[in-house]
Amino acid sequence: MSPIRILLVDDSVAFLDSAAAYLAGQPDLRVIGRALSGRTAIEQIAALRPDLVLMDIAMPDLNGLEATRQIKALPNAPRVIILTLHDNPEYCRAAVAVQADGFVAKSDFGVQLLAAIRSLFAQEPGQPSEQLPMKNILVVDDSQTMRRMIIASLRGLPGTSFIEASTGLEAIERLALGPVDLVTLDLNMPDIYGLEVLEFMRRHHAYRAIPVVVVTTKGEEAARAAVLAAGATRYVTKPFNPTALAALVGELLQP
């Protein structure tokens, strides 16, 4: 497989140097260009045709969000991962709104970036693994941003497809519509709480054996104990580590 061709975009020469040096140690990645502004990045995409753009948000002429919006309107647009100094939910939502493919805080650059890149390129949509049967993961959360973050974290798992539900009621309907091999489940939702969905699944023989990974902001030990007692397979608190979540889900999907 050819290396993933990367264009780095940041107004800091020091960051471009450090990012290029870090990525140079990865045999499946290759930095093919650098841009100090959003406008220059758009110009370079036509000439270099990168597979991936790593895009800073704060730049003087055209901010990274607007540059990403324009890039995504191009024919055969590359993937774009937004980079920012601040792990801010508002920035993450804004990145989703301009169709960015990922969002990584610079403070987590060395921890999350490689996993995010490899998740994006591990398997093209609609091309499941020939060696493994398809595994259907139901992602339940009332936040579209959170659902996309979970899916981005798990996309690199071979032979997986994703079903989304934004409410507890929709989750129950999705379970009835087709086979589901694993559920990631938020607790706080507007209609039926996640704990009620979990209890429903554990009462019905058709869903009783499906692994359920609860992904929630509730970090209290009492909440964890109650959810595990109700039948959750694993309990993960937000913000989660994408690599650790993928490893956990991959283990649970093993035959």
Question: For 15-45, how does the pLDDT look when each residue is reduced to its tens digit (9 = 90+)?
Answer: 999 999 988 888 889 999 999 999 999 999 9
Q: Three-class SS string for 41-102?
A: HHHHHHHHCCCEEEEECCCCCCCHHHHHHHHHCCCCCCEEEEEECCCCHHHHHHHHHCCCCE
Give the CB-side neighbour count of residue 21, counting CA atoms within 13 A.
Answer: 6
Q: Does residue 205 surpass a pLDDT of 50?
A: yes
What number is the average pLDDT over the span 125-137?
A: 59
* pTM (two decimals): 0.53
CATH number for the region 4-121 comes to 3.40.50.2300
Q: Which residue has the tokens 């990274």?
A: 64
Residue 45 backbone phi and psi in degrees, to 5: -60, -40
Residue 55 backbone phi and psi in degrees, to 5: -115, 120
Do 135-252 and 4-121 fall under one CATH topology?
yes
What number is the average pLDDT over the span 104-120?
A: 72
Domain chopping of the chain, boundaries? 4-121, 135-252
The whole-chain average pLDDT of the chain stands at 86
Q: What is the pLDDT of residue 170?
A: 87
Q: Does residue 130 surpass a pLDDT of 60?
A: no
Q: What is the pLDDT of residue 119?
A: 67
The full DSSP string for 9-33 is: E-S-HHHHHHHHHHHHT-TTEEEEE
CATH fold of 135-252, please? Rossmann fold (3.40.50)
Bridge partners (DSSP) listed for residue 212: 183
As a whole number of angstroms, the distance between CA 69 and CA 135 comes to: 32
